[in-house]
């Protein structure tokens, strides 16, 4: 059977994204009105081979809000069958028989694609190692649309660890679906945006610049997309502290920002946005996390409707 799977950001074209925006808005209304029991006979299995409590709870809550039931495991690293040497394919074949949709997080790149190849129910990729985490990218782009009323013609800064932070890669792919975008990659020398992402943008005619000057960027952009900088990426603690200090969003950065710009962050944060920023209306990161619930409700709904988004991959 031809299933609808959510594997990577690149499978979504502009029409898919616009349909998703519309559907997500509907889901906000469903949630605000106390939820639905539309999918009360459906079962979601959350298979998390590495822990990600927040993401798991977000999916599980989305399923509950649609009336469905959830089973799962929060630590499939201890998944007893995997320990006994079972392949991911065998696990998915069997769990498919217990489920109407499987939300999977795995440590290996490509695991979601492998799961989708044998599953008899939709697979939603909740992160596969250094690979993709498409629902994060989708909630990011939805947040931009919702907060600013459009995605076209925006200036977006992505800040922090641009090498290992997979959310900025996936968001870059999605932004390529819109017009007049300009991305400001703002990062320390050792965690720059990778060449293959830049190549992708060039092929898709997306304008971008690279810089290490947060203050200059802050004054120009519509979106400041902040991410964590991880200690272990730096040659010394000293260099880490220096880099980190330069990229903190605080009240002085706020003062430089446009009045209707927004600050986003995939969360969790660990100091790179000062808490003094939280009360500013431009601080959109908690609203962004909340949007994750609505976007996931919309995606689960699409899985059950079995009239999923056309899966297209664009060339790189």
302 is known as an active-site residue? no
Residues 85-144 that bind a second copy (CB under 8 A): 85-86, 90-91, 93-95, 97-99
What values do phi and psi take at 45, rounded to 5?
-110, 125
Q: Tokens 């201890």 label which residue? A: 78
Contact pick of 110, 180, 194, 271 for a second copy (by CB under 8 A): 271
Minimum distance between the CB of residue 228 and a second copy, rounded to whole angstroms?
Answer: 7
Rounded-to-integer distance, Cα 55 and Cα 61, Å: 10
Size of the site for a second copy (CB under 8 A): 53
Q: Which of 5, 56, 133, 301 is catalytic?
A: 133
Classify the phi-psi angles of 243: left when phi > 0, otherwise alpha if psi is within -120 to 50, otherwise beta.
Answer: alpha
Does position 18 bind a second copy by CB under 8 A?
no
Kind and range of the H or E element at 272?
none
265 is known as an active-site residue? no
Q: Which of 45, 55, 135, 143 is catalytic?
A: 55
Kind and range of the H or E element at 128?
strand 123-128
Contact segment (CB under 8 A) with a second copy among 84-92, 175-183, 191-199, 302-310 equals 84-92
Contact 65, 30 (CB under 8 A): yes
Rounded-to-integer distance, Cα 32 and Cα 64, Å: 14
Both structure tokens of 127 = 């992160």
233 among annotated binding-site residues: no
Closer to a second copy by Cβ: residue 10 or 166: 166
Reference 233, options 188, 195, 272, 196; nearest CA is 188
In a 10 Å sphere around its CB, with 0-12 CB exposed, 13-18 middle and 19+ buried, how is residue 185 labelled?
buried
Range 97-127 burial, b when 16+ CB lie within 10 A, else e: eebbbbbbbbeeeebbbbbbeebebbbbbbb
Q: Which residues contact 205 (CB under 8 A, 6 or more apart)?
A: none
Residues 157-176 that bind a second copy (CB under 8 A): none
Contact pick of 4, 8, 11, 72 for a second copy (by CB under 8 A): 72
233 is known as an active-site residue? no
Minimum distance between the CB of residue 136 and a second copy, rounded to whole angstroms?
Answer: 13
Closer to a second copy by Cβ: residue 43 or 256: 43
296 among annotated binding-site residues: no
Rounded-to-integer distance, Cα 89 and Cα 98, Å: 15
Minimum distance between the CB of residue 191 and a second copy, rounded to whole angstroms?
Answer: 16
Query: Known binding site: residues?
Result: 54-55, 84, 105, 133, 136, 166, 228, 267-268
The residues that touch a second copy, with contacts defined as CB under 8 A, are 34-37, 40-41, 43, 45, 51-54, 56-58, 60-61, 64-65, 67, 69-76, 78-81, 84-86, 90-91, 93-95, 97-99, 228, 267-271, 286, 289-290, 293
Active-site residue list: 54-55, 84, 105, 133
């Amino acid at each position: 059977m031809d299933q609808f799977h959510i594997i990577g950001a690149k499978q979504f074209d502009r029409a898919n994204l616009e349909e998703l925006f519309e559907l997500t808005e509907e889901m906000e209304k469903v949630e605000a009105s106390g939820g639905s029991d539309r999918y009360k006979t459906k079962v979601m299995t959350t298979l998390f081979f590495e822990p990600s409590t927040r993401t798991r709870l977000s999916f599980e809550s989305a399923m509950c809000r649609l009336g469905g039931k959830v089973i799962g495991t929060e630590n499939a690293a201890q998944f007893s069958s995997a320990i006994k040497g079972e392949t991911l394919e065998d696990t998915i074949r069997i769990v498919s028989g217990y489920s109407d949709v499987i939300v999977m997080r795995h440590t290996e790149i490509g695991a979601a694609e492998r799961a989708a190849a044998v599953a008899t129910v939709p697979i939603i990729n909740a992160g596969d190692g250094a690979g993709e985490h498409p629902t994060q990218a989708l909630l990011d782009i939805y947040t931009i649309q919702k907060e600013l009323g459009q995605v076209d013609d925006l200036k977006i800064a992505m800040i922090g660890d641009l090498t290992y932070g997979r959310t900025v890669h996936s968001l870059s792919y999605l932004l390529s679906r819109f017009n007049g975008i300009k991305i400001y990659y703002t990062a320390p020398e050792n965690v720059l945006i990778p060449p293959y992402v830049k190549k992708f943008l060039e092929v898709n005619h997306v304008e971008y610049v690279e810089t290490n000057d947060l203050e200059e960027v802050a004054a120009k952009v519509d979106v400041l997309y902040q991410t964590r900088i991880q200690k272990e990426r730096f040659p010394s603690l000293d260099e880490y502290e220096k880099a980190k200090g330069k990229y903190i969003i605080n009240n002085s950065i706020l003062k430089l920002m446009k009045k209707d710009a927004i600050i986003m962050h995939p969360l969790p944060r660990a100091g790179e946005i000062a808490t003094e920023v939280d009360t500013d209306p431009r601080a959109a990161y908690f609203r962004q996390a909340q949007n994750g619930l609505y976007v996931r409700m919309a995606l689960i709904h699409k899985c059950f409707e079995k009239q999923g988004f056309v899966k297209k991959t664009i060339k790189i």
